[in-house]
Amino acid sequence: MNIVNILEEIEKVDGEIYERLNPRRAAMKSFFNIGKKISLAAMPLALGSMFQKAYGQTTPTAVIEVLNFALALEYLEFHYYNHALLAAPNLVFPNAASKAAITTIRDHEAAHVNLLKGALGASARAEITYAMTDFTVNGAFPVYDDYATFLAVAQGFEDTGVRAYKGQAGNLMVSPGVLQTALQIHSVEARHAAHIRQMRTTQAAGAATYKPWVSLGASGQANDSGVAALDAVYAGEDLTLQANINIVGINGKTGIDKKAAVECFDEALDKASVVAIANLFLKTGNKLS
Amino acid sequence: MKNNELETQNELQDESLFKARLGRRSFLQFAGAGAAGIALVAAGCRKDRIMDVPSGSGVTLDFKDDFGVLNYAYALEQLEAAFYILVASNPPSAFSAAEKAYFQDIQFHEIAHREFFKNALGSAAIANLEVDFSSITFSDRTSVLTTAKAFEDLGVAAYNGAGGRIKTPAYLLLAGKIVSVEARHAAYIRDLISNGTFADLNDLAALGSNNANGLDGALTPDKVLGIAGKYVKTKINVINL
């Protein structure tokens, strides 16, 4: 990580970055002094707090709201996988590769939590702990007793995450640097979703196939997960009109049927819909608003 | 997929058009489009007046506004579509039936992206790019997968790195709708090469990823075009970046 590059990047969108930093030279000085002592892994936190100091109250409220919303979702995802790995004795991973994949995903979600917390600094929302969650939704989903159910809900989480970040991108346009970071998280979530879908196909052992991309359901419905309880996650994913351009058979390309048109564009989900999904997994008293 | 053969034929015809020399007539079309809003660099015009120019005068991506960013995406989607059309129409013999089917899917996704940008840009669209796939052995599974991985990972980094340049919320949303599909492609292809590498962020460091922060790649257009350059014959001029 090259701090000079980062400052240059910021300068492009905020020509006054150095002036902002300058009157608070103490903040910079202490940052660089700390820098000598901290490990690279701790850098995002340190960077986040430096920018917090430099920008003070100027980070737009809308951006803070988006980041806190993202942080809540990342907490949920992190706990979902972390509990599966550490404290779910009845959940049997079929092989080392499946456990390794879930570990990779868990680690990314933990990194996202830390990054967002660091960027938000004192504005970060309260921590969501595992105790505040109920991933079984009152026992409806035996996620920690049944591997297939665990993967199905994981797919729901990842595909929801992809849609949630997409839905918030417009609110981050005022802060291009933050927007880019959010986009970099967004595509990682899409990679996770693709892999979980492949894991489900492997687990189904020929009984069902889940494409790495969001396709049409077997009966032509928007939800291609095979789990009706996840309908809300896929509501509107069957859109085939993009910017008023019909993708089906576009420019005489007859091979692009409805299924292909649905697959080639992922759809965003608005905050209220994402909150409704997330709240299924949060206990009363801890729900998002 | 019943129309696929026809589709492929159409595409191969398109392909031969790509490779056709940019003659005087198409230059005039290009220049005509210029009057409608594309900035042609002077060097490009001058070059075209010289006889026996090998392959056109190039295209210009002018990043002064959203059309530049959309044309940049259009250029990358042209490359990806051209690659997958060749793979899907004649896949490596080592591909399984499932792999053939998914590469067929990816082909249609990329064609749809390309055609979408073409229509969205209208008269502001850049010309068709002439590709150079001489470094790829299309009969070899490894060569095809390695190239597909390179294209998809680069595509993700390109969209991630360009999002902040987009000024129109609707276009940003559309780029977001496409980039996550590219990321899904990337994950699938990476898993084909080595299962579990779907989001190997250490491996993507050259594209701007950061494993400690759980961040995917992000690159500026000049860097992306530098990497993509080996697959393009058409000169791509970049201004106002």
Q: Of A31-45, A173-187, A189-203, B107-121, which range is least confident?
A: A31-45
- What lies within 8 Å, CB to CB, of A139 at 6+ separation is none
B12, B69, B111, B198: best mutation site toward chain A, by most A Cβ within 10 Å? B198
User: A60-213+269-289 has which fold?
Assistant: Ferritin (1.20.1260)
Could you give the CA distance from residue B189 to residue B29 in angstroms, rounded to a whole number?
A: 38
Quick check: A80 and B185 in contact, CB under 8 A?
A: no
pLDDT beyond 90 at B11: no
Nearest CA to CA, how far is B57 from chain A (Å)? 26
| Count of the separate structural domains present in chain B | 1
pLDDT beyond 80 at B9: no
If residue B60 lies in a helix (H) or strand (E), which one and from where to where? strand B59-62
Nearest CB to A111 within list B163, B198, B214: B214
Could you give the CA distance from residue B37 to residue B185 in angstroms, rounded to a whole number?
A: 34
Position B57 scores a pLDDT of: 81
pLDDT beyond 70 at B118: yes
Could you give the CA distance from residue A140 to residue A136 in angstroms, rounded to a whole number?
A: 6
What pLDDT band is residue B47 in, cutting at 50, 70 and 90?
very low
Which token pair is B179? Answer: 């980039």
The one-character DSSP state at B232 is B
Position A170 scores a pLDDT of: 97
Task: Look at residue B99 and tell me if it is in a domain.
Answer: yes
Position B56 scores a pLDDT of: 57
Chain A from 33 to 62: CB within 8 A of any B CB? 40-41, 43-44
More confident position, B35 or A84: A84
Instruction: Compute the average pLDDT of residues A172-177.
Output: 96
Are residues B179 and A186, on separate chains, in Cβ contact within 8 Å? yes
Are residues B215 and A179, on separate chains, in Cβ contact within 8 Å? no
Percentage of residues in chain A with pLDDT exceeding 90? 79
Residue of A nearest to B153 (CA): A187
**In this structure, are strands B59-62 and B236-239 parallel, antiparallel, or unpaired?**
parallel
Are residues B112 and A173, on separate chains, in Cβ contact within 8 Å? no
Which token pair is B160? Answer: 């991630």
Nearest CA to CA, how far is B109 from chain A (Å)? 5
Q: What is the count of residue pairs from A and B with beta carbons less than 8 Å apart?
A: 213
Are residues A187 and B4, on separate chains, in Cβ contact within 8 Å? no
Task: Look at residue B12 and tell me if it is in a domain.
Answer: yes
pLDDT beyond 70 at A255: yes
Chain A from 227 to 286: CB within 8 A of any B CB? 242-243, 245, 247, 250-257, 260-261, 263-268
Backbone angles phi, psi at B237, to 5 degrees: -90, 140
Looking at the DSSP assignment, which residues form a beta bridge with residue A254?
A: none
Are residues B195 and A108, on separate chains, in Cβ contact within 8 Å? no
Position A59 scores a pLDDT of: 76
Could you give the CA distance from residue B36 to residue A101 in angstroms, rounded to a whole number?
A: 51
Task: Look at residue B38 and tell me if it is in a domain.
Answer: no
Domain of residue B148: give its range.
4-18+66-233
Instruction: Compute the average pLDDT of residues B146-150.
Output: 98
pLDDT beyond 90 at A283: yes
What pLDDT band is residue A13 in, cutting at 50, 70 and 90?
low
Task: Look at residue B131 and tell me if it is in a domain.
Answer: yes
- Taking contacts as CB-CB distances below 8 angstroms, the residues of chain A near B201 are 108, 188
The one-character DSSP state at B163 is G
**Residue by residue, what is the 3-state secondary structure of chain A?**
CCHHHHHHHHHHHCCCHHHHHHHHHHHHHHHHHHHHHCCHHHHHHHHHHHHHHHHHHHCCHHHHHHHHHHHHHHHHHHHHHHHHHHCCCCCCCCCHHHHHHHHHHHHHHHHHHHHHHHHHHHHCCCCCCHHHECCCCCCCCCCCCCHHHHHHHHHHHHHHHHHHHHHHHHHHCCCHHHHHHHHHHHHHHHHHHHHHHHHHHHHHCCCCCCCCCCCCCCCCCCCCCCCHHHHHHHCCCCCCEECCEECCCHHHCCCCCHHHHHHCCCCCCCHHHHHHHHHCCECCCCCCC
Task: Look at residue B26 and tell me if it is in a domain.
Answer: no
Chain A from 83 to 142: CB within 8 A of any B CB? 97, 100-101, 104-105, 107-112, 114-115
pLDDT beyond 80 at B173: yes
Q: pLDDT of A261-275, one tens digit each?
A: 999 999 999 999 999
What letters, b where the CB count within 10 A reaches 16 and e where it falls short, cover B193-202?
eebbbbbbbe
Position A19 scores a pLDDT of: 47
Please give the mean pLDDT across all residues of chain A: 87
Task: Look at residue B51 and tell me if it is in a domain.
Answer: no
Position A5 scores a pLDDT of: 56
The CATH number that applies at residue B123 is: 1.20.1260.10
More confident position, A41 or A5: A5
- What lies within 8 Å, CB to CB, of A183 at 6+ separation is A165, A169, B159, B160, B163, B176, B179, B216, B218
Q: pLDDT of A93-143, one tens digit each?
A: 999 999 999 999 999 999 999 999 999 999 999 999 999 999 999 999 999
- Helices (runs of H) and strands (runs of E) counted in chain B: 8, 2
Domain range summary for chain A, segments of one domain joined by + = 1-58, 60-213+269-289
**In this structure, are strands A241-242 and A245-246 parallel, antiparallel, or unpaired?**
antiparallel
Quick check: B160 and A187 in contact, CB under 8 A?
A: yes
Are residues A44 and B212, on separate chains, in Cβ contact within 8 Å? yes
- Alpha carbon A99 to its chain centroid, in Å, reads 20
Please give the mean pLDDT across all residues of chain B: 84
Could you give the CA distance from residue B37 to residue B136 in angstroms, rounded to a whole number?
A: 36
Nearest CA to CA, how far is A289 from chain B (Å)? 24
A108, A117, A191, A196: best mutation site toward chain B, by most B Cβ within 10 Å? A191
Are residues B199 and A169, on separate chains, in Cβ contact within 8 Å? no
- Taking contacts as CB-CB distances below 8 angstroms, the residues of chain A near B159 are 183, 187
CB proximity A187 to B under 8 Å? yes
If residue B203 lies in a helix (H) or strand (E), which one and from where to where? none
The one-character DSSP state at B135 is T
What pLDDT band is residue A213 in, cutting at 50, 70 and 90?
very high
Q: pLDDT of A53-78, one tens digit each?
A: 444 446 799 999 999 999 999 999 99
Q: pLDDT of B191-220, one tens digit each?
A: 999 999 999 999 999 999 999 999 999 999
Nearest CB to A104 within list B10, B179, B199: B199
pLDDT beyond 80 at B129: yes
pLDDT beyond 60 at B7: no
